[in-house]
């Protein structure tokens, strides 16, 4: 049988095992599986307005805070309630404002570039008096790094770090090592940034800079990374995958491990992504890493949308792609409080009502991390529900000189679906277009068919959770000339 090689619409459609189109089907290590459905964590209400940034942060004692921001407020999820912990004055963000959130020791810091950096060590957030307004903030070593600044004047290519071990002190001073600078070797503003080990990485749309701590008086030394025009299109179009950054660029999708950026979408989904994402709003792409499943989800605005409503999914180890479209406001790795037997009634009054949550879901584990989203109703939802349905379209099987008959198609499952059906398509000569052929349902573990043509392909539709590892079609030569 032929192994399933994943979603690859850019590849030659005659490649064995290729999936040319799919819905709600994502990769796992040994094949493809139905994508999980969103499920609302127990006792979690919707935010009062659209979520424009969220994160789970950990304090030094390993206690966690779940922070979410709207245009005018910052909230913390506490005892099943979104508590307003923003400063007294409303925040002043605009249409494209997004919160950047980081943790430094026991302090949580948030930045939106419309207001000075905000700080909270458990109580309400407040302005950091000496800090700039910043588009991006992240923690690296003994510092908080801020990128794309307004410190009284516009510095979209500027960077600034706080004093060593003191996130409340931002006034440049050699004694404290608080300092600032600009990255002007390449054109454009700083679009994204993130820690990579002991380094600070700053991205423009078509370039990358690596910052290394060197101590006073320079404090941070920045080098431009070789890699042509590789860069990041937006501040959330990047995620840490453990020892490397995964990010969406202006012309490709990349992984950067501190040496050179490596493209990962060529020959698979690169052209598909750029053909199907809105070029005017592509900078609103959101990347998030599901560490438990080694999956990167790329939420992006489709051609008809201004906000993320579609998603492609990449398996880091298997190097395979899938599709699981979702409309989202924000994405994060939610940390659940876990569930006890006594607490089951808060989720459902019946056993049948627990069906959306698979038994191997992180939902059940105290401290279990699970990929989560805020949907367009501002509701936090964990991607832990059981898959309800999916589909896939094969590549094309056949030969320009030989007519062949297909009598059956068999799929090998690691987990069989509740039900499955197939619709086949046939084509007499390449390029003239496919027409509907035979269809059927599973019989004795296979799909029995009767059709003859030079070229064949099939669309499979699955109900319920499914895992597929291989497929095979019995094609018998039926003549040629």
Tens digit of each residue's pLDDT (9 = 90 or more) over 339-368: 444 444 544 455 555 444 454 544 444 445
- pLDDT value at 294 more than 60: yes
Alpha-carbon span 168 to 155, nearest angstrom:
21
Q: How do residues 397-439 score in pLDDT, each as one tens digit?
A: 998 888 999 989 999 999 999 999 999 999 988 888 999 998 9
Burial 38-77 (b: 16+ CB within 10 A, else e): bbbbbebeebeeebbbbbbbeeeeeeebbbbbbbebbbbb
Return the structure tokens found at 191.
């679009």
Among positive and negative, which fits the CA dihedral 243, 245, 246, 251? negative
> pLDDT by residue (tens digit) across 49-104?
999 999 999 999 999 999 999 999 999 999 899 999 999 999 998 899 999 999 99
Cα 422 from Cα 383, distance rounded (Å): 28
pLDDT at 481: 53
CATH class belonging to 37-385: mainly beta
For the chain, state the CA radius of gyration. Answer: 25
Question: CATH classification of 2-34+389-480 is 1.10.1760, yes or no?
Answer: no
CA 231/CA 460 separation, integer angstroms: 38
pLDDT value of position 153: 97
Neighbour order of strands in the sheet with 369-374 = 37-39, 380-385, 369-374, 330-335
Q: Cis before residue 302, ω within 30 degrees of 0? A: no
Predicted local distance difference test score (pLDDT) of residue 478: 80
Mean pLDDT across 166-192? 97
CB atoms within 10 A of CB 358: 18
In the chain, where are the structural domains located?
2-34+389-480, 37-385
User: What proportion of the chain, given as a percentage, has pLDDT over 90?
Assistant: 82
């Amino acid at each position: 049988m032929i192994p399933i090689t994943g979603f690859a619409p850019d590849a030659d459609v005659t490649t064995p095992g290729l999936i040319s189109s799919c819905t709600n089907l994502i990769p796992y290590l040994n094949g493809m599986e139905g994508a999980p459905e969103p499920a609302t964590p127990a006792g979690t209400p919707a935010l009062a307005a659209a979520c424009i940034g969220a994160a789970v942060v950990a304090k030094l004692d390993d206690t966690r805070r779940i922070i979410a921001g709207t245009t005018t407020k910052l909230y913390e999820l506490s005892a099943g309630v979104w508590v307003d912990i923003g400063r007294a004055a409303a925040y002043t963000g605009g249409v494209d404002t997004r919160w950047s959130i980081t943790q430094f020791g026991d302090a949580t810091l948030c930045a939106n570039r419309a207001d000075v950096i905000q700080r909270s060590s458990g109580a309400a957030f407040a302005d950091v008096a000496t800090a700039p307004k910043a588009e991006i903030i992240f923690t690296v070593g003994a510092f908080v790094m801020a990128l794309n600044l307004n410190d009284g004047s516009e510095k979209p290519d500027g960077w600034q770090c706080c004093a060593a071990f003191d996130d409340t002190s931002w006034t440049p001073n050699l004694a404290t090592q608080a300092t600032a600078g600009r990255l002007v070797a390449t054109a454009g503003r700083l679009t994204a940034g993130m820690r990579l080990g002991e380094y600070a990485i700053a991205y423009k749309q078509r370039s990358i800079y690596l910052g290394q701590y060197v101590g006073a008086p320079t404090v941070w030394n920045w080098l431009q990374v070789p890699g042509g025009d590789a860069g990041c299109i937006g501040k959330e179009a990047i995620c840490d995958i453990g020892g490397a950054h995964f990010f969406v660029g202006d012309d490709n999708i990349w992984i950067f491990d501190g040496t050179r950026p490596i493209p990962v979408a060529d020959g698979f989904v690169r052209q598909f992504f750029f053909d199907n994402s809105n070029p005017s709003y592509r900078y609103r792409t959101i990347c998030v890493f599901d560490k438990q499943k080694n999956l990167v989800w790329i939420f992006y605005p489709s051609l008809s949308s201004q906000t993320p409503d579609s998603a492609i999914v990449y398996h880091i180890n298997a190097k395979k792609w899938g599709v699981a479209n979702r409309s989202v406001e924000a994405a994060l790795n939610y940390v659940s409080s876990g569930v006890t037997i006594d607490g089951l009634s808060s989720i459902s009054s019946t056993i049948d009502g627990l069906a959306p949550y698979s038994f191997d879901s992180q939902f059940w584990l105290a401290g279990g991390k699970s990929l989560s989203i805020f949907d367009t109703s501002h509701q936090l939802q964990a991607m832990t529900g059981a898959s309800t349905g999916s589909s896939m379209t094969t590549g094309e099987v056949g030969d320009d000189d030989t007519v062949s008959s297909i009598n059956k198609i068999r799929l090998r499952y690691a987990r069989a679906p509740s039900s499955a059906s197939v619709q086949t398509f046939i084509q007499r000569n390449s390029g003239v277009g496919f027409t509907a052929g035979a269809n059927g349902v599973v019989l004795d573990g296979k799909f029995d068919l009767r059709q003859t043509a030079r070229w064949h392909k099939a669309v499979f539709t699955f109900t319920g959770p499914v895992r597929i590892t291989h497929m095979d079609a019995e094609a018998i030569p039926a003549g040629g000339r």
